[in-house]
């Protein structure tokens, strides 16, 4: 069986197609790598690239694309809606077949070492490769973003795992590691008020929010720590964003483990919370690729609501999922280009 490791780097450029093309070409030119997707977003000013291959080929493609991005992207000029910490924001390695999470952790460390030896920028390990509890979640490492990075590097608690704690204004920092297959999933609202989307995100995300009293003050426990009200969904990260080109707000969701909370459950939960806030869900989108099973689960879920007989035909179930999740509202959802099993 062929070894397949997926890599999904996020580059802090979503508007200049010339730069995006050069980065993509640096990946596709590596032997043994298959480029599966290049998805720029103008509002986020970020491009998500997806490619697969063997351990060595994926590591080399990740390195070559990093070198090219560092050459072409200047973080001093970067502005966008999505949180980021550097020109190459995050580079995760994901086991797909004939490999293991442990191997992907080692690949991420080898890649980090290669980049640090050439550039000596701050590099953090996250997720399954993390070295400290506060570095498991990408959002904790990104806190303060690029603009707060210089001050963050002065704190010994945030010295990098590779490279030196020295602020590089052009490149910023980089995060890498290994993780389970993440589905980047955004739910669209019929409003341009991103504060409503953020409120929904606080209600559904696993990390929840700090508890406040009637005066709006944080409620502390006996040890002086903030009491956290957990959100309703496990293995879900979320935030509210504004999608300017469509004049809509989105609940931007990272489905960390679709076997625990699949996209359709997140979609239904957002619908429920949106209704209490006087807005409606109009559709959703998957950024990057998705495992086929996530859509089959959604298809079975919605089919069971309409009939006692659930279709067994794969294409029919996927169509039911696409229609009920409104996956083609912003851009046509083409299964052959969005489902990883169909791409490999």
CATH code (residue 36): 3.30.990.10
Residue 15 has φ and ψ, to the nearest 5°, of -120, -35
**C-alpha span between 299 and 260 (Å, rounded):** 17
Domain total for the chain? 2
Intra-chain end-to-end CA distance of the chain, in Å: 13
pLDDT category of residue 308 using cuts at 50, 70 and 90: confident
pLDDT value of position 1:
57
List, for residues 107-130, the tens digit of each pLDDT value: 999 999 999 999 999 999 999 999
Three-state DSSP state, 69:
helix
pLDDT category of residue 96 using cuts at 50, 70 and 90: confident
Which one of 82, 198, 247, 264 is the catalytic residue? 82
**C-alpha span between 22 and 38 (Å, rounded):** 12
Say whether 79 is catalytic.
no
> Does 226 share its domain with 263?
yes
pLDDT at position 155 over 70: yes
| Look-up of token digits 């991103």 | 194
pLDDT value of position 2:
80
Rounded mean pLDDT of 17-30?
97
**The dihedral of CA 18, 34, 49, 40: what is its sign?**
positive
List, for residues 41-68, the tens digit of each pLDDT value: 988 899 999 999 999 999 999 999 999 9
Q: Which of 162, 178, 194 is the last residue of a domain?
A: 178
> Does 319 share its domain with 249?
yes
> Does 11 share its domain with 95?
yes
> Does 196 share its domain with 338?
yes
> Does 172 share its domain with 267?
no
Q: Which of 128, 149, 178 is the last residue of a domain?
A: 178
- Report the CATH number at residue 319: 3.30.70.670
> Does 20 share its domain with 83?
yes
Rounded mean pLDDT of 90-97?
92
Output the CA angle 155-83-264, nearest 5 degrees.
Answer: 130
> Does 12 share its domain with 155?
yes
Q: Which of 121, 151, 178 is the last residue of a domain?
A: 178
| Percent share of the chain, pLDDT over 70 | 100
Give me the domain span that covers residue 315.
183-343
Show the 3-state SS of 77-104. Answer: HCCCCCCCCECEEEEEEEEEECCCHHHH
């Amino acid at each position: 069986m062929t070894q397949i490791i997926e890599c999904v780097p996020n580059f802090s450029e979503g508007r200049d197609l010339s730069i995006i093309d050069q980065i993509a070409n640096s990946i596709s030119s590596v032997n043994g790598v298959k480029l599966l997707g290049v998805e720029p977003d103008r509002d986020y000013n970020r491009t998500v690239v997806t490619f697969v291959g063997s351990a060595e080929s994926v590591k080399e493609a990740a390195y070559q694309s990093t070198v090219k991005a560092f050459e072409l992207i200047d973080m001093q000029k970067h502005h966008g809606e999505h949180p980021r910490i550097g020109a190459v924001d995050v580079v995760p390695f994901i086991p797909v077949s004939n490999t293991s999470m442990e191997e992907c952790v080692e690949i991420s460390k080898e890649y980090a070492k290669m980049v640090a030896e050439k550039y000596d920028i701050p590099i953090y390990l996250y997720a399954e490769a993390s070295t400290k509890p506060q570095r498991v979640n990408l959002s904790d490492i990104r806190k303060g973003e690029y603009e707060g990075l210089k001050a963050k590097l002065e704190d010994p608690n945030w010295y990098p795992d590779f490279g030196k704690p020295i602020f590089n204004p052009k490149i910023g920092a980089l995060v890498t590691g290994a993780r389970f297959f993440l589905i980047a999933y955004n739910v669209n609202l019929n409003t341009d008020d991103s504060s409503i989307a953020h409120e929904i995100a606080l209600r559904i995300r696993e990390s929840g929010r700090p508890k406040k009293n009637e005066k709006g003050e944080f409620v502390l426990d006996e040890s002086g720590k903030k009491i956290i009200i957990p959100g309703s969904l496990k293995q879900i990260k979320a935030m509210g964003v504004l999608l300017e080109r469509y004049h809509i707000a989105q609940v931007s969701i990272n489905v960390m483990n679709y076997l625990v909370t699949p996209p359709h459950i997140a979609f239904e939960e957002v619908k429920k919370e949106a209704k209490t806030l006087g807005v409606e869900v109009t559709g959703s989108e998957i950024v990057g690729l998705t495992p086929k099973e996530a859509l089959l689960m959604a298809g079975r879920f919605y089919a069971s609501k309409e009939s006692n007989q659930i279709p067994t035909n794969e294409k029919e179930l996927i169509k039911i999922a696409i229609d009920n999740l409104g996956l083609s509202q912003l851009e046509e959802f083409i299964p052959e280009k969005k489902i990883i099993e169909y791409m490999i």
